[in-house]
Amino acid sequence: MKAWVIHEFGGPEVMKLEEVGKPEIKSSEVLIKTECTAVNPVDWKMREGMITMLLPHEFPAIIGWDVAGIIEQVGDDVKRLRVGDFVYAFCRRSVVKDGTYAEYVAFDAEHVAHMPSNLTMAQASSLPLVALTAWQALFDFANVKEGDNVLIHAGAGGVGSIAIQLAKHAKARVITTASPRNFDYVKKLGADDIIDYNSQDFIEVTKQLFPEGVDTVFDCVGGKTFHSSLDIVKKGGSLVSICNAVDESYGAEKGVKTGFVFVAPNGEQLSSIARLVENGVVVAPNLEEFPFHEAPIALEKNREGHTKGKIVLSLT
């Protein structure tokens, strides 16, 4: 099969489209024929060796974690899934080696779910990483619930766009930061209040709206934005980041729960997300589609930032 392989860390030049062996599945796994895979910031960060502190790696390595495709083979112990099923999955392993930028992906059936029946393969491939990240940050970590006030940084991005919808589904009031060109987009997703991060101080605006602070800040930006956000979380609230590695001691003095969410595969949550999509509660992000052979170009486009929605690679 063809796959995008790296033999060393670096820029686009280290990505090689190579012929490699088709994966062999274990008894608990399924073999997925990849139709589409999504591009995420973690992909180029892995390519450049920026997250080796989080995950070990082995060269040669295939990058990529999102997949949507058709099951071609099932392991002997797999009962829930069948050959021919349309599925999607977040295929993160403990070691970066066998990713989803490949024509076939083998993965544990427990973490593979039937994709939403009302989506295309491209749309489905855009969801696993971002939807699981938003779910695990908002609900598993921050326990967002009805009546909460939630500030989501970078609401027009891949994770932010799903987070807005999930928080609204939980009946929270959603505030988000965005650029003016994305105001209509985030409003359509359900944002109640929008802060222009180019011309407004989100701390100042948030304090005007919520003098006592918000219940949760979900940080998808990192750096100064993350650290400044502690100032606007009320006592007993949560500050959760997908960019800054912190522990709970960071906000302890203020009585704020702080933490870093590193998304994990979860087939059960993907099934729940699929039902929300099928019921019209969650819509897939805006897409920009690239052919598979243009993967290095797609990663550079993602690396530039300011993407509205997601970039996906199509193998068909």
- The per-residue pLDDT for 194 is 98
How many CB atoms are closer than 10 A to CB 153? 27
- The per-residue pLDDT for 168 is 98
d(CA 281, CA 9): 40
User: Which amino acid does the sequence have at 154?
Assistant: A
- The per-residue pLDDT for 190 is 97
Please, are residues 170 and 312 in contact by the beta-carbon 8 Å criterion? no
- The per-residue pLDDT for 119 is 98
CATH superfamily of 2-127+284-314: Medium-chain alcohol dehydrogenases, catalytic domain (3.90.180.10)
> Tokens 């076939």, residue?
104
> Tokens 């939980």, residue?
170
**H or E stretch at 113:** strand 112-114
Please write the tens of the pLDDT for every residue from 174-188.
Answer: 999 999 999 999 999
- The per-residue pLDDT for 284 is 93
- Using DSSP, state whether 251 is helix, strand or coil: helix
- Using DSSP, state whether 239 is helix, strand or coil: strand
CATH architecture of 130-260: 3-Layer(aba) Sandwich (3.40)
- The per-residue pLDDT for 305 is 77
d(CA 271, CA 69): 15
Would 2-127+284-314 and 130-260 be classified into the same CATH topology? no
Report pTM.
Answer: 0.96
- The per-residue pLDDT for 198 is 94
Q: Where are the domains of the chain?
A: 2-127+284-314, 130-260
First-to-last C-alpha distance (Å) of the chain: 14
Pick out the chain residues at pLDDT < 70: 306-307
- Using DSSP, state whether 50 is helix, strand or coil: coil
- The per-residue pLDDT for 86 is 98
Cis peptide before 60 (omega within 30 of 0): yes
